[in-house]
Structure 1
Amino acid sequence: MASKPMFLLLLLLFLPFKLQCSSPQTWIKAGYWDSSGELPASDINSALFTHLFCAFAYVNSTSYQLLINSSKEQPFSEFTNTVKLKNPSITTLLSIRVGKSESTTFSLMINQTSNRKSFIKSSVRTARLYGFHGLDLVGVMPRNSTNMTSLGTFLDEWRAEVDSESRNSGKTQLLLTMSFGRVPTVNSVSYPIDSAKRNLDWVNIIAYDYYVPTVDRFTGVHAALYDPFGGANTDAGIREWLQRGFSADKLVLGLPYHGFGWTLVNSGENDIGSPASGPAVTIDGSMGYKLIKSFIQNYGYGAESVYNSTYVVSFCKIGSNWINFDDVEAIKAKVSYAKAKGLLGYNVFQLSNDENWLLSQAAYGIGTSQREKQQQLLVIVLVTVAAVILLMGTIVCYLQIKIFKSQGILATLKKSVSRMRPKISSDEKQDNSAPNLQVFSFNSIKAATDNFSSENKLGQGGYGPVYKGMLPKGQQIAVKRLSKTSNQGLEEFKNEVTLTARLQHVNLVRVMGICTEREEKMLIYDFMPNKSLDFYLFVAMFLQNMLRKEPTL
């Protein structure tokens, strides 16, 4: 009987994972969490994502092993378990950054066999140690052909190590991803396309920062999806990647949660391409979405952003400040574009810039099909139900054990006895639900033993006295009556009642029934004159052995 609830529980726990495994390839809904930002990992709404990148680790300039700054070791080690609290199916990757200051170290690493081996081994080991499901490389730009050739070799060796580690450990392979620029070729130098297609699970396209105020002395759309005048835009870059043979389902579109502000030379000239003197609002002009919205709101009357569907961007002019950024409309349009192009998904940078998850919810709403939403809801419901059943089962088992141990039979035994019989009259009656066990009234036992007379007393044990008796039909019985001073009789009574239905043996005296009226605890046996001593010794030893084997009775 207990196997059925257990089977249902296991089914409920297994079904959500079966649903996920049976669905088509997951559409990536990813985001970068910068550990140096203001957003604690515990505040991430991970339910809005399928993958999260923990950023950033680096390359050690001396050992060429993967380096996590000591101040980041604890948040990195706790990251996966933390984000899984809100989304148990989330996949996490450790992101490794190669900025301008790290480019020399990275070049020395990829161009030397021993250095590559040192980094690759340490990266896989660290990912496993910290509980990540994959590794990601960010910031590598195609600056010279030698480095790009070495990068291709590095990716081959990285994939080989990941495959080998998985075979040897029996664990699922780590994911390998990398961020590439808007276009595959820069100044005649190309990324190692063939190696990337062969070794990476997908490529994150950095579809932003095309124009920045620290470099460009004119206003520009830093993340335009389209540009009718041929300026840098995402659509042109994606088409170029596809023309170079990269499969659409290995490309993930980058979405910026930031914008840039320029200071206009002439506040009356505020179109795209207008002269600018440099950054506005911040030192480099970069502004997170949260800051932009706050800046507009705090400025007061007359400050508002305008969505431009031609470029797929929002503009805002406040005094001499000219700001462009992606608001909800732009995010929705870009996610729709990614789906229409057959891309693998989207990747936002970065989470701490969002405002109350407004952009993330917009992207999630477009990026998640109705079928996926229903399936995710079903998974949540099934996991919740399974958890509740498991918790309730644990509580019930605990209470049953506690009741049996502390109170003996009491309510539990009375319920069991009530199930064995409907209503017993003053004479013994056979119980239909328990044909081998009868329930006797106190008066019938009192009459059978001549009011428990000393002449009918057969002996005395730890349980209490044993009396000989005779039923109205002439059948002889032996009655074991719990002594009022007995310390062990209650436990013996419970165990004998529980075990009697199971015990059938030619050398064991048959228990005919019980009597529980008037707070009595009496066991009624067939009377066997010459086997009384053997019987009592056998029962005592047998019950002690059974109690050792079945402590939960």
Structure 2
Amino acid sequence: MSTRSVVMASPPAVKGAYYSSDPTVFPPSAIDTSLFTHIYYAFLMPSNVTYKFEISSSTALLLLNFTTTLLHRSPPPATLFSIGGGGSDSNLFSCMASDTKSRKAFITSAMDVARKFGFDGMDLDWEYPSNPKEMKNLALLFKEWRRAINVEAAKEPGRAPLLLTAAVYFSVDFFLDAVDRKYPVRAINQNLDWVNAMCYDYHGGWNTSITGAPAALYDSNSNVSTSYGLRSWIKAGVDRTKLVMGLPLYGRTWTLKDPSFHEIGSTAVAVGPGDAGALTFMQVEEFNKKNGAIIVHDMDSVSTYSYAGSTWIGYDDDIAAMLKIGFAQALGIRGYFFWSLGSDSLWKISRQASRAWVVGE
């Protein structure tokens, strides 16, 4: 018997992004596909009665335009459609996942949509299972979904199985909540291609009293940080090749109580400019330039903030993103993704991230 060790090739890196833009403002044809390996169409929702996807003719046109446009780009990224999203009804997913028949109806319909409209896979963004029972049902859903994918692919020799991913909380458990619950890591390892950890929205307009880094890599005062979140997934046993780090292409804004105090953690009185205190990175750069804002790179948190008058904005720029990419690669995880396409400024962050992710030999 040979004593030579077998070296398994690492799976290709994921450089993902979610597309949730108005196609009349930012069409799929405007995406620089050279910067991404996977692009998610966000979002679709099943019926709350049948748990099947009822695609209208107008949505069907959007889906076909999305997949067809990206398929003919060079290079063509893999396409997935994402189910749910932050504004969706969590109770719908809870009810669907609680019963064998409804899970089957949902899975079959999702796979039909993927094949009909030319997607390479599906992504579940259930925000969030609210108790241990729902987490167990999520595990069952993943198991049955993977089984159905394998059966479907086996019917046509040479056909690639559909991808199956999920967008998840930044941490493996919900340590900030009253109800203790944790994602089913074993089911994730066995059945998903990877999970997209949403490493952002740590601070925002829901707390108007104090400024904060929305996507801090480090936080010396709490565990609300990307470094803690990603390490919690690894410590819980998730395969590093199934873990993808989320990066924001937007900032959160506050109105300072006293403009002379403008550090992270300064007292604020309200949200600042933008939709509910949120600005795209493009809008942040426009604000900074128009108002002559002071820009600070905070190395303690690995984040960026700017201020002008009483307005304070916390965000990630290309420098913060590059440093986070280095951290993620040092952890040995699969890759990164952005929320969301159409928010970058001339592909500034997206391009820097793609260059920063060093591909091994």
What residue in structure 2 maps to residue 172 of structure 1?
A: 160
Partners of 2:74 and 2:263 in 1: how far apart?
44
Partners of 2:86 and 2:248 in 1: how far apart?
18
Quick one: which of 238, 245, 251 aligns to 1:246? 238
Task: Tell me by how many angstroms 1:220 deviates.
Answer: 1.0
Task: Tell me by how many angstroms 1:200 deviates.
Answer: 0.6
Describe the superposition over 1:113-133 as per-residue Cα deviations: whole angstroms up to 9, x where unpaired: 221111100100110111111
Partners of 2:323 and 2:33 in 1: how far apart?
22
What residue in structure 2 maps to residue 133 of structure 1?
A: 120
Letter in 2 for 1:334: K
* Secondary structure of the structure 2 residue equivalent to 1:185: coil
| TM-score relative to the length of structure 2 | 0.91
Quick one: which of 301, 314, 319 aligns to 1:329? 319
Task: Tell me by how many angstroms 1:69 deviates.
Answer: 5.1
Indicate yes or no: 2:79 matched with 1:87.
no
Task: Tell me by how many angstroms 1:268 deviates.
Answer: 2.1
What residue in structure 2 maps to residue 194 of structure 1?
A: 186
Indicate yes or no: 2:287 matched with 1:278.
no
- Decide whether the 8 Å contact of 1:46 with 1:84 is kept in 2: no
Quick one: which of 305, 309, 316 aligns to 2:295? 305
| TM-score relative to the length of structure 1 | 0.60
Quick one: which of 17, 28, 35 aligns to 1:31? 17
What residue in structure 1 maps to residue 171 of structure 2?
A: 183
* Secondary structure of the structure 2 residue equivalent to 1:190: coil
What residue in structure 2 maps to residue 74 of structure 1?
A: 61
Partners of 1:190 and 1:24 in 2: how far apart?
27
Superposition pairs of residues 323-472 of structure 1, within 5 angstroms: 323-369=313-359
Task: Tell me by how many angstroms 1:101 deviates.
Answer: 4.2
Partners of 2:307 and 2:73 in 1: how far apart?
39
Partners of 1:289 and 1:65 in 2: how far apart?
36
Task: Structure 1 unaligned segments of length 5 or more: list them.
Answer: 1-21, 372-553
Indicate yes or no: 2:304 matched with 1:314.
yes
Quick one: which of 279, 282, 292 aligns to 1:287? 279
Q: 1:228 to 1:210 in 2, by over 3 A?
A: same
What residue in structure 1 maps to residue 207 of structure 2?
A: 215
* Secondary structure of the structure 2 residue equivalent to 1:272: coil
Task: Tell me by how many angstroms 1:71 deviates.
Answer: 3.1
Task: Tell me by how many angstroms 1:257 deviates.
Answer: 0.4
Partners of 1:163 and 1:223 in 2: how far apart?
36
Partners of 1:39 and 1:104 in 2: how far apart?
31
* Secondary structure of the structure 2 residue equivalent to 1:322: strand
Letter in 2 for 1:242: I
Partners of 1:148 and 1:231 in 2: how far apart?
22
Partners of 2:354 and 2:344 in 1: how far apart?
13
* Secondary structure of the structure 1 residue equivalent to 2:232: helix
Indicate yes or no: 2:89 matched with 1:102.
yes
Partners of 2:182 and 2:208 in 1: how far apart?
24
Task: Tell me by how many angstroms 1:155 deviates.
Answer: 0.9
Number of equivalenced pairs: 348
Describe the superposition over 1:190-227 as per-residue Cα deviations: whole angstroms up to 9, x where unpaired: 11222112111101110000111223521111100012
Partners of 2:259 and 2:99 in 1: how far apart?
53
Task: Structure 2 unaligned segments of length 5 or more: list them.
Answer: 1-7
- Larger relative helix fraction: 1
- Decide whether the 8 Å contact of 1:45 with 1:86 is kept in 2: no
Letter in 2 for 1:229: N
Relative contact order higher in (CA < 8 Å, ≥ 6 apart): 2
Letter in 1 for 2:89: E
What residue in structure 1 maps to residue 255 of structure 2?
A: 263
What residue in structure 1 maps to residue 3 of structure 2?
A: none
What residue in structure 1 maps to residue 52 of structure 2?
A: 65
Q: 1:282 to 1:133 in 2, by over 3 A?
A: same
Q: 1:352 to 1:144 in 2, by over 3 A?
A: same
Task: Tell me by how many angstroms 1:70 deviates.
Answer: 4.3
Partners of 1:362 and 1:261 in 2: how far apart?
24
Task: Tell me by how many angstroms 1:230 deviates.
Answer: 2.8
Q: CA RMSD in A?
A: 1.9
Letter in 1 for 2:284: I
- Decide whether the 8 Å contact of 1:57 with 1:96 is kept in 2: yes
Partners of 1:172 and 1:307 in 2: how far apart?
44
Task: Tell me by how many angstroms 1:24 deviates.
Answer: 4.8
- Decide whether the 8 Å contact of 2:188 with 2:238 is kept in 1: no
Describe the superposition over 1:461-515 as per-residue Cα deviations: whole angstroms up to 9, x where unpaired: xxxxxxxxxxxxxxxxxxxxxxxxxxxxxxxxxxxxxxxxxxxxxxxxxxxxxxx
- Decide whether the 8 Å contact of 2:208 with 2:269 is kept in 1: no
What residue in structure 1 maps to residue 5 of structure 2?
A: none
Letter in 2 for 1:333: L
Instruction: Please identify the structure whose Cα radius of gyration is greater.
Output: 1
- Decide whether the 8 Å contact of 1:58 with 1:68 is kept in 2: no
